[in-house]
Amino acid sequence: MDIQPLHESDGSFNFAEGELLLIDKPLDWTSFDAVNKIKSLLRNKYKKQIKVGHAGTLDPRATGLLIICTGKKTKLLAGLQGMDKVYTGEIELGATTPTYDTESEIDERFGIEHITPELIEQTLPKFKGFLEQYPPAHSAVWVDGKRAYELARKGKEVEMKPRSIRIFYVEVIDYSAPILRFEAKVSKGTYIRSLAYDLGKALNSGGYLKTLRRTKIGEYSVADALTLEQFEFMVKHS
């Protein structure tokens, strides 16, 4: 089946038959929000329900690439979900939050005076290769028939089990204390929030994810993605 994304098409498209969309998800939108927005736009345009799904969630506090398929191309989603992903972002060292990101308030602070660029470079090799990673308690992982975040938000103790993941690389773009800017390429199932937390711990401090942007999924790039506003304009004027 042809998996040419919409931006590479000749300008003609058929959402009912099936299209592969590259969408740049905005901050504070869930992946489900983006899918619902596209469903609504297509329903209003074609006066019928068109099947829409995404190839892997992106946290509300993250921005960047979502692959969304419509119509018959939703059959491709399972294969697309398995592709490696590239992220850029910022980790704030010296503090932690319950959600490992900015969705919750800082709950503990640590010293960072001992953290140097050299120490960071010496520590990063621990986060390369095939690893066992614990997902955040505030995540969509299923625990006893419920989403982990549902239990965590109720104050219940959530026992998370480690997952086998692969981190191809984590590179420092810049370190200006306490902010570490990075790029990472990871396998399916990797939580960058957990990477931020674990890196802070490995540095004998704390860490949480301050910003995150997904730039690539496989060979698909956010540079080729449409914003939801651009997609809405295209649908309404086609």
Domain locations in the chain?
6-81+222-236, 85-217
Residue 127 carries which DSSP code?
Answer: G
Four-way CATH pick for 6-81+222-236: 3.40.50.1980, 3.30.450.20, 3.40.50.300, 3.30.2350.10? 3.30.2350.10
Question: Do 85-217 and 6-81+222-236 have the same topology in CATH?
Answer: yes
Report the Cα 31 to chain-centroid distance in Å: 9
Q: Which of 24, 59, 101, 198 is catalytic?
A: 59
For residues 203 and 82, is the Cβ–Cβ distance under 8 A? no
pLDDT in tens, the chain (238 residues): 345 565 555 556 788 889 999 999 999 999 999 999 999 999 999 999 999 999 988 989 999 999 999 999 999 999 999 999 999 999 999 999 999 999 999 999 999 999 999 999 999 999 999 999 998 887 777 776 777 777 667 777 777 889 999 999 999 999 999 999 999 999 999 999 999 999 999 999 999 999 999 999 999 999 999 999 999 998 988 7
Spelled out in words, what is the top-level CATH class assigned to the domain 85-217? alpha beta
The pLDDT score that the predictor gives to residue 153 is 74
Read off the pTM: 0.91
What is the enclosing helix (H) or strand (E) of 142? strand 142-143
DSSP 205: S
Catalytic site includes residue 24: no
Distance of CA 195 to CAs 27, 39, 130, 139, 158, Å? 20, 33, 13, 14, 19
Tell me which DSSP letter residue 26 carries. Answer: P
